[in-house]
Structure 1
Amino acid sequence: MFKEYKVETISEGGLGTVFLGASNIPVKKLEARINFLATQGWQVVFQVIEKKRFLLFWQRETVILTVGR
């Protein structure tokens, strides 16, 4: 049972989305953020990938992490 929750978001790059039509989720950035939160006692509770509209014509993926301790 967790007493405290926190929500973190990590989005894919905007330039790759505009120029290439798609980009990757920055896995190294995601990994580093999860490891940093783990050192502070947080645990990943839930993770979801959301597609959002970016500018007018493109879509960008965002990882939404819910962590608790």
Structure 2
Amino acid sequence: MRATIYLPDDLAQAVEAYLKEHPQTSLSALVQEALRVRLERNPAALLELAGIVEKASVNAEEGAEDRLHRSRP
């Protein structure tokens, strides 16, 4: 599929800067990866894409309070 999309100036500049910093990544590959993450609704993949964490340590269904109670002696 081919598509033409509009990017506001600030987003276009951010994409251009990202691609300059990651010359091994094409615009097409970047868009495909972002769409896969969004469409799969995979929080761990989204965090990894954002560079926040490599691997989430808990399931998103598990609340922070559950984790707190487990860690108490």
Q: TM-score, normalised by structure 1?
A: 0.29
More helix by share: 2
Structure with max Cα Rg? 2
Greater RCO structure (CA 8 Å; 6+ sep): 1
Q: TM-score, normalised by structure 2?
A: 0.27
